[in-house]
Amino acid sequence: MTVAAASSQEILKPHLSIDGSSRLSGVLRVSGAKNSALVLMTASLLTEETVEISNIPNLTDIAGMKAILESLGVEVTRRGDRISLTAANLSSSQPPYELVNSLRASFFSIGPLLGRLGYARVPLPGGCRIGARPVVEHIRGLKSLGAIVNVDQGLVTASLPGGMRRLKGTEIVLDCPSVGATETILMATVLAEGKSTIENAAKEPEVQDLANLLNLMGAKISGAGNSTITIEGVERLHGCRDYSVIPDRIEAGTFLMAAAITRSTLKVKPVVPEHLSSVLQKLRDCGCDLNIDDDGITITPGDLRAVDVTTQPFPGFPTDLQAPFMSLMAIAKGTSVISEKIYENRMQHVAELQRMGASIRLEGSTAIVEGVPSLCGAPVTGSDLRASAAMVLAGLSAQGNTKVCGLKHLDRGYDDIEAKLLGVGARIERYSN
């Protein structure tokens, strides 16, 4: 096959076509947080009563979680950005492999299923291929609570020993502050007997959001957002009405970087500034002025300067914004060093940025980025969710046309991103084939 033929075939795939070098203006609205909404949906497994959640984004991952919960017997109704979940008649404690395989967050169901039913059988999770992301911490935590846990042929089976009616509260110390492990253990302990503590817990806003929902459902959780979380187990939880998901800090950060990379003044809302403190500081450091008010953040870029970034657990710089920030640094003056410390395979976007003229040298999980005056449009592919967002940002600033493939990844985490960008002046269009 010739290079031209290969290129033609690539363009025939579903893609976004972006004509770059446009200035943007107006307001970009941020949807509810994907990573929070997914785990809040699984929390509905902990009660027979109805749990109603609002500000749910319209994403393929949300549709996948809906299908998984329905396969367990949960009644799920969605109207606009609101979702109603009733797990009164659970018919299964084993979500099907074909659904779990594409959605890592589905593994979170093991905690509430074990806590409420005393048994769960969950396939090992899938999702973006950005690293090992083992579930060892989840399993070790469940064992500490008294569960018998076995892993065999890709299935994790967790159960209570004979004669044991509830999990037993205990002290759990995480080797690393894993968000997923913290959330899994949190949901398992709320119905456990006695007091539990999670030491070295993740501090992410999504953990705090889950704790807030569970407390509204009757749980007794304190300390979420700190390194130690305390849980007093209760015998049952009740439902709740109209709990609103927090704004998506990763989408907000992506939009702020979209403004910076196109040298555009934009307002991004709603945003909780405390959820993005490290990102906001890096944007200031690289030459952006930020006006923060009760209604959101208005960003006005200046001359972009290179700054160094190392990804860290919250409140450090989030790994989910490493790829979009690299697109920004690709056109900043000077040399930046971007180090990925969370996921070992999260540098797959480097080669695609290089295709657009970026000057990046990769040394393991560290990228040395020499800023260039501008990028050039090219056919590129996003290898994972955040890499796809990085390609969109690069395309917005590039000279000429960029075709971004890999939309199945993008649609997992950004709710109708092309319509939002169109609304502020981007020249962007989706092609389904």
Catalytic residues: 128
Radius of gyration over alpha carbons of the chain, in Å? 22
- Rounded to the nearest 10°, the torsion over CA 39, 105, 314, 28 is -80
Question: Three-state SS across the chain?
Answer: CCHHHHHHHHHHCCEEEEECCCCCCEEEECCECHHHHHHHHHHHHHCCCEEEEECCCCCHHHHHHHHHHHHCCCEEEEECCEEEEECCCCCCCCCCHHHHCCCHHHHHHHHHHHHHHCEEEEECCCCCCCCCCCCHHHHHHHHHCCCEEEEECCEEEEECCCCCCCCECCEEECCCCCHHHHHHHHHHHCCCECEEEEECCCCCHHHHHHHHHHHHCCCEEECECECEEEEECCCCCCCEEEEECCECHHHHHHHHHHHHHCCCCEEEECCCHHHHHHHHHHHHHCCEEEEEECCEEEEEECCCECCCEEECCCCCECHHHHHHHHHHHCCCECEEEEECCCCCCCCCCHHHHHHCCCEEEEECCEEEEECCCCCECCEEECCCHHHHHHHHHHHHHCECEEEEECHHHHHHHCCCHHHHHHCCCCEEEEECC
* Cα separations in angstroms, 420 against 28, 82, 256, 428, 429: 6, 20, 13, 10, 11
- Cβ(264)–Cβ(257) below 8 Å: no
